Structure formats: C-alpha cells, structure tokens
Structure 1
Amino acid sequence: MVTSSVFYTTQQASESPYNYVPTEWICIFFVVSYSISTAIHMGQAFKYKLWWMIPTATFAGVLEIFGWSARLWSSRSPQLLTPFEMQLVGTIIAPTPLVAANFIILGKIITQLGPQFSRLTPNMYTVVFCSFDVICLTIQAVGGAFAAQAVNQGQSPTFGGHIMLGGIAAQLFSIVIYVALAAEFLLRRKYNAPFRHQDIRFGKGQRSISKKMQRTISGLSFCTLCIFIRSVYRTVELADGWSGLVISTEVYFNWLDGAFVTVAIYTLNIMHPGICLRLDTITHASQQAEDEADQDYYYRHRLPLRRG
C-alpha cells in the first residue's frame, strides 16, 4: 500500500510541469502570510495617506497571493497547466512593485537627511528607478506570458524563460546601482562631502541621524538584501533551464523566493514610512525653523557690513 502511494506520488511529480508536487501546507502558509501583510499594508496606506504604497507594496502582496494560491491549486491538481501558468507570472513579477517602494522610500530619506549629498535629486529616484522598474516588470510579464503559452501548447518555454531572465537580470542591475548610490549618499553625508553647494546661511550644519531614521535605513537595507537574494536565485533558476536542478527543487523556491519575499514585505510593515518617517518629518520641520532663524540672524548682522 505504501509502495503504491509512493509510486503514485512519483508519477504525479513526473507529470507535473514543476517536476515536483507543491507541498499543500507550505502553499497555505504563504497565502495566509501574504494576505495578512497585504491587509496591513492597505490599512497603513489609508491611515497615513501614503497612496503610493498601494500600487507598490500592497500590489506586490496581491500578486504573491495570486501566485501562491495558484501553487496551492497545483498541490491538489499537479498535472493542470493553468495554475502553473498563473503562479509562474504571479511569483516572477510580484517583488517588482516592492522594489519600487524601496526606491521611493530612499528618496524620502534623502529629502530629510540632505539632498546635497546625493548624486541624484530625491525625485529622480522615483522617476528614474521606478520607470526602469516598470520596464523590468513589463519584460518579466511578457516573458511569463510567452512561457505559459508555450507550456499550454506543449512547446518548450525556453524563449519566454530567456525574456524573463532578461527582465530579472535588468532588475538585479538596477538594485545594484540603487544600493551603490544609497551607500555613496550615506558616506558623503558622514564625511560632509556634498555634491552641491550647501548654503552658508544655514549655520547649524547637518543634523544628526535620529535613532528612528537609523532603524528606517536598517529596515530598508534588510528589505533590499532579501529582494536581492531572491533575484539572484531566480536568475540562477532560469539560467539553469526549465528542467534543471534548481527549478526542479521545491525547497529552493520555498526558501529563496517565498521566505525572502515574505520577510521583505513584513519588514516594510514594521518599518513603514508612515511610522518611521512621520515623526522624523516633525523633527525636520523643527530643524528648518531653526535654520530660518539662523538665516534671519545672518542677514541682520551681515547686511550692515555690506553697506560699509
């Protein structure tokens, strides 16, 4: 009886487009986990009126729910191609909006800590990186659609896989550039080496980084690291081929995709910009008031000298 069950499971795995049967309880775990995080993100977006978190972090959660629900379907009907195609598109593009949220948050951090230390202006992080992110998302979606269509027609999904690989590799490249610019900004601020001239009227100089802001930067760094590791895994997975060892091993996908993206999206729940940057904005406003007082003092004492 046991031998018959093992044989049936092995036969299911060999006939499955995954080359294995997705584990049901793991799929349920990730569906529930992403549902909770997505609901929290939606609530936080409304509470703090950060509407840009809806098409970014919240939408990423929706895509993950979609992808893992399809894997749950596959765990019960492993031979069906429709749920395989759904999870292929859902899980491959889901982290892309999450990366966009990180780009925007970095711009807001730079706005508070000193735009003069950044190679790009804060708005440029949103415009340039998010635009590139949309391109990567489109490439991955198109590749996923081609691959899914090929599987459905009984053809090789290699062409679509190559397109997806290009989209993920491009996203990986953008993350590397983003991290390099962020690191440069923090180092230039630490050593007071601005790119642009800092007005001497603001005599108080740069303010220190608060503990809340430090936690925000740490959370953003950790979230980015998780997504980076996931992107490396998916790059290796697709480069290894549709019948390779990496794509055929469920535990790799569960840990290096599911787990890392879960940790990343919950990190943004905990280190939400509405929580972590809101109070720091108040501090920034207070500092700005002090700077304006310094400016007034400067002119009141400087102008008489100019007349003489």
Structure 2
Amino acid sequence: MSDISNSTSGLSAQADDFNPYGYVPTEWVCALFVALFALTTVLHIGQAWYSRLWFLLPTVCVAGLTEIIGWGGRLWSSKNPDLLDPFLMQIVTTIIAPTPLIAANFIILGEMIRRLGHKYSRLSPMWYSILFVSADVISLVVQAVGGAKAATAAKNHTDANAGGRIMLGGIVFQLACISVYMILAVEFIVRYLWDRPIRKMDVSKFESHVLTPKIKMLLAGLAFSSTVIFIRSVYRTIELSDGWTGRIIATQVYFNVLDGGMITLAFYCINIFHPGWLLGHGPWAKQQEKTISEEVSEKSI
C-alpha cells in the first residue's frame, strides 16, 4: 500500500491516473445507489416502527444512513473527482456501513434458534447476541479508528499506510466473525433438520420446534443476506490488501457490483423477508421470552 498522499497530488478530472480513485465515478450509478439506499432505509424505518422491533433502528437503519452518506460522497466525486474530502468520506463510510447490518443478522439468527430449539445450537440465543454483536462493535470501532487515522494523514499529506492497515485489520476480523457465524448457523440448521441435538433440554411449549413456512422463508432470506455480505467482505479484504492505489480499488465495476450491489441485495432481502412479518411484532416476542423465562425459573425451584 503506497502513500495515499502521493496518489492525491496533481489531481484533475481529466487525468484519472492522478485522482484518488483512479477513475471518475459514474454519476448515474452513484445517483442510483443513493436512491436505492434511501428507499430501503425509509422502508426499514417504517417496518421497524410498525413491527416495534427497535433493534432494527441502530442496526439496519443506521447502516442504510451510512451507505447514503458514502454514496453521496461518490456522487459528489463524480462532479469533482479532484477533491480529497468526498473520496475520504466515501471510502470510510462504505467500509463501516455494513457492520450494523451484520449485527442485525446475528440477532435474527438468535431469535430463530429460540423458536426452533436451543438444543440444536452450540450457543444460546443470548450468547449469539453477546458474542457476535460485541465482535461486530469491535470491528466497527477498529475500522472507524483506522479510517479516521488514514483520513487525517491524507489531509495532512503524511503517510496514510498506518490507518489503512488498521482498517484492513478491522475488515479481516469482521470476515472471520462472519465465517464463524455462518459455520455455526449451518450446523444449527443441519442438526435441526436431521434432529441431532447437541444437548438434551426440556421442551418449552412456547417454542414451536416446527419449521413453519414463515420460518423457512426467514431462513432463506437470512442465508441469502449473509452470503452476499460475506462476498462483499471478501472483496473489501482483497481490495484493502491490494492498497488504496492498487488495481482492484481503481476498477470501478468491482466496487459497484461487489460492494454496492451486494449490500443493496442484503438490505432489500431483509425488507422482503422481514422478521416483523415472519417472526412477529416486538411486544409478542418480548412477552414470549418473559413467559419462557418464568417457566424455566419455576421448574428450577
């Protein structure tokens, strides 16, 4: 990874080799992604409010707002490719934006485990939320610190390599967490389908333990959104490893398809396979948890 300050000298809209992108972002593509992310974010805010699943506001909705900022920066760059500020704005926000979205997937999987049976999962729903959401927060903080460090260095015309390496570390850590999450999720689904529990547990009458059509739909949606997010994380890992002035980051179609395209699919997938529709509204889920907890406490007395 070479010094980003070298790549930002002598910038001009006509000379792509000397602007921070290595190309001029296509205006209509940037405008399209701004519109797509704005639409899905508005839908998610409405769906979260209607279903009263408040965890979606600081996860999916915040991720959508961050993507809008990032693609807004790219739209700005399409008109002023020689400016450093919109480049830094978009590279930092588009890297960290999917992190809250991933946290929502962790929480939804935990809720599905609660419905289908703890005994098929290596982790309880509570520990899924604690471990994976905590890891997601750590990844977000690392990426944000790295992005801020790199942006400050670039503005001061000093070496941005250290910040870039920190961002890469955050992305790699996130990719590792997603990989573990997907392995555990697949194991849970296989064990459930084959009825091969990890441990023996008393079956609560409030847990359905039935793979209903709605649960199947949510499983399909969760699998699809997790897969496209995983593809995007692999791409960003390779991109940052290649450097801010490397061939991968300087190829616009890679970014449009493997970052913007993949994350757009993940957002709309959750809009369509929404947990509020497929699992129920917030108060019902909260009451179910309370009832199950009370029954467990009574049995232990």
In the superposition, relative to structure 1, how do residues 200 and 237 fare at CA in structure 2: closer, same or farther (>3 Å)?
closer
Question: Which among 229, 232, 236 is matched to residue 230 of structure 1?
Answer: 232
Give the alignment partner of residue 261 of structure 1, picking from 260, 263, 269: 263
1:201 is displaced (CA, Å) by: 9.3
Q: State how far apart, in whole Å, the 2-side matches of 1:28 and 1:189 are.
A: 44
> How many residues get paired?
277
Q: 1:200 to 1:36 in 2, by over 3 A?
A: closer
For 2:144, the aligned partner's letter is A
CA distance, structure 2, for counterparts of residue 73 and residue 152 of structure 1: 18
Q: Are the equivalent residues in 1 in contact too, given 2:145–2:166 (CA < 8 A)? A: yes
Whole-Å Cα distance in 2 between the matches of residues 195 and 55 of structure 1?
33
**Alignment counterpart, residue 124 of structure 1, candidates 122, 127, 131:** 127
Instruction: Please report how far the alpha carbon of residue 115 of structure 1 lies from its aligned counterpart in structure 2 after TM superposition.
Output: 1.0
Unmatched runs of 5 consecutive residues or more in structure 1: 1-7, 293-308
Partner of 1:115: 118
Q: Is the 8 A contact 1:88 1:148 kept in 2?
A: no
- In the alignment, residue 133 of structure 2 is paired with which amino acid? C
Q: Name the SS for the 1:98 alignment partner.
A: helix
User: What's the % identity of the aligned pairs?
Assistant: 49
Residue 148 (str. 1) matches residue 151 (str. 2) = yes
> Aligned to 2:254, which of 235, 252, 255?
252
SS of match in other structure, 1:180:
helix
Shift, 1:206, TM fit: 7.2
8 A Cα contact 1:104 1:125, kept in partner: yes
- Give the counterpart letter for 1:224 in structure 2: S
2:69 to 61, 66, 71: 66
Offset of 1:10 from its aligned partner? 3.7
Q: Which residue, 201, 204, 208 being the options, matches 1:198?
A: 201
Moved more, 183-192 or 75-84: 183-192
Could you tell me which residue of structure 1 aligns to residue 40 of structure 2? Answer: 37
Superposition deviation, residue 59 in structure 1: 0.5
Match of 2:189 in 1: 186
Distance between the aligned counterparts of 2:242 and 2:54, measured in 1?
Answer: 39
Q: Does structure 1 retain, via aligned residues, the 8 Å contact 2:24–2:77?
A: yes
AA partner of residue 280 (structure 2): R
Distance in 2 (alpha carbons) for counterparts of 1:68 and 1:207: 42
Contact map agreement 2:13 2:19 (CA 8 A) in 1: no
Q: Secondary structure at the match of 2:163?
A: helix
Partners of 1:48 and 1:56 in 2: how far apart? 15
Aligned counterpart, 1:208: 210
Cα 1:200–1:64, aligned 2, differ >3 Å: closer, same or farther? closer
- Report the aligned-residue RMSD: 2.3
The corresponding residue for 2:137 is 134
**Is the 1:63–1:90 Cα contact (8 Å) retained in structure 2?**
yes
How far apart are the structure 2 equivalents of 1:157 and 1:267? 36
Task: Report the CA distance shift for 1:218/1:71 in structure 2 as closer, same or farther (over 3 A).
Answer: same
Question: What amino acid sits opposite 1:132 in the alignment?
Answer: A
Kept after mapping to 1: 8 A contact 2:30/2:71: yes
Structure-2 residue corresponding to 1:305: none
Taking a change above 3 Å as real, the CA distance of residues 200 and 128 of structure 1, as seen in their structure-2 partners, is: closer
For residue 278 of structure 1, give the secondary structure of its aligned residue in structure 2: coil
Q: Provide structure 2 residue ranges, at least 5 long, that are not aligned to the other structure.
A: 1-11, 296-301
Provide Cα deviations, 1:151-188, integer angstroms capped at 9, x if missing partner.
Answer: 21223322111111110000000011001111111122
> What TM-score do you get using the length of structure 2 for normalisation?
0.87
User: Which deviates the most, 27-36 or 14-23?
Assistant: 14-23
Higher relative contact order (CA 8 A, sep 6+): 2
Deviations 1:92-135 (A, max 9, x none): 10000000000000000001000111111101111110000000
Tell me whether 1:93 sits opposite 2:96 in the alignment.
yes
Is the contact between residue 157 and residue 242 of structure 1 (CA under 8 Å) also seen in structure 2?
A: no
Distance 1:201 1:260 in 2: 38
**Contact 2:117–2:209 under 8 Å retained in 1:** no
Does 2:244 correspond to 1:242? yes
